Amino acid sequence: MSQHALPPVRRRLGDSNLEVAPLVFGGNVLGWTADARQSFELLDAFVDAGFNMLDTADAYVRFIPGFHGGESESVIGDWLARRGPAMRSRILIATKVGLDMGPGESGLSATYVRRAVDRSLRRLRTEYIDLYQAHRDDPDTPLEETASVFDELVRSGKVRAIGASNFGTARLEAALQTSEQLGLTRYTSVQPPYNLLRRKDFEGDLEALCRREHLGVIAHSALAGGFLTGKYRDIADFGKSVRGARMGALLDARGQRILCTLDELAAVHRTTPTAIAIGWVLARGVTAPIASATSVAQLRQVLDGATLTLAADEVAALDRASAD
């Protein structure tokens, strides 16, 4: 981290007993764009800097041709095995269930969730998962069934807390009401997409629900797939990464306005656009944004943002720049 950075202050995740540093490492790169050696270096650097939550999913990175799913969890499990039991006590593992893992292997039914959690535990080489999240809503499974199996996992000790990822406001509220009515463990956190380019999914009704129900918010896509790092400035930059092909649509007048404001504030704080983009998400009241990196140098820029304090007028400038 930069010399001006302060040690990360941990925050309670919703009503759980989990204390989370203000940035979560996005494990979607592990075993994919970061090989085993790079992954171990990234995880070591992340924890050594005082941060503690790793976010992954059973489906990472099944959506990439040539991969089968489980790669990210397996890398974390291999890293834990190398580092020993003391490391497990220093970190929080958040993983997810529900995306397609093969024929008949998806969703949030009790039967499938029981199978999936045991597979995740084996890949992660751990006896428990700190935060087990529904990767997305499953309208084909009754909320009562999903709530019951998640409660079962918490009571068995396989899972410490549960969360919801990519849920709409109405379904999340219904899930919370279902758990409360049945006296079951309820979601303690939500994981929506949220960044300077994508604000509407969280701001408004979902944000109000999270505040009202005291839910922790772990925002994914905090850097918009790398666009907010400033790495993609013109057509020639789109070939810089496997995600570059998707960046052209973001480089419109609004995208350029956001990048310009990030550059200005980065100069003021003697840091990077990456750090400013992360700092903005935290300033908007999120518990901890999720961001990934494929090198330790990139990771340090991300971590700087988690210990950066933006002034109210700086947050307002970013709000204006990113307004639709």
Any idea what the CATH number is for the domain that residue 125 is in?
Answer: 3.20.20.100
Other CB atoms within 10 Å distance of the CB of residue 249: 8
Tokens 């941990």 -> residue: 10
pTM: 0.95
Q: Is the pLDDT of residue 6 over 60?
A: no
Domain carrying residue 232? 11-322
The answer to whether position 1 is within a domain reads no
Q: Is 60 one of the annotated active-site residues of the chain? A: yes
The answer to whether position 129 is within a domain reads yes
How far does Cα 64 stand from its chain's mean position? Answer: 19
Q: How confident is the model at residue 233 (pLDDT cuts 50, 70, 90)?
A: confident
The answer to whether position 4 is within a domain reads no
**Least confident segment among 3-17, 45-59, 133-147, 151-165:** 3-17
The answer to whether position 208 is within a domain reads yes
The answer to whether position 148 is within a domain reads yes
3-class DSSP assignment, residue 297: helix
pLDDT of residue 232: 83
Q: Please compute, for residue 282, the number of CA atoms within 13 A of its CA located in the half-sphere on the CB side.
A: 29
pLDDT of residue 241: 57
Number of residues that this document lists for the chain:
324
Distance CA 318, CA 315 (A): 5
Q: How confident is the model at residue 249 (pLDDT cuts 50, 70, 90)?
A: confident
The total domain count for the chain is: 1
The answer to whether position 262 is within a domain reads yes
Q: Which two tokens stand for residue 52?
A: 């503690």
Q: How confident is the model at residue 2 (pLDDT cuts 50, 70, 90)?
A: very low
- C-alpha distances in Å from residue 117, one per residue of 57, 138, 166: 11, 17, 19
Residue 320 vs residue 244, higher pLDDT: 320
The answer to whether position 2 is within a domain reads no
The answer to whether position 69 is within a domain reads yes
Give per-residue pLDDT as tens, 250-272: 889 999 999 999 999 999 999 99
Among candidate residues 60, 112, 132, 194, the one labeled active-site is 60
Angle between helix 253-269 and 312-322 (nearest 10): 160
Phi, then psi, of 290 in degrees rounded to 5? -100, 130
Give the mean pLDDT of 25-54: 97
Q: Is the pLDDT of residue 235 over 90?
A: no
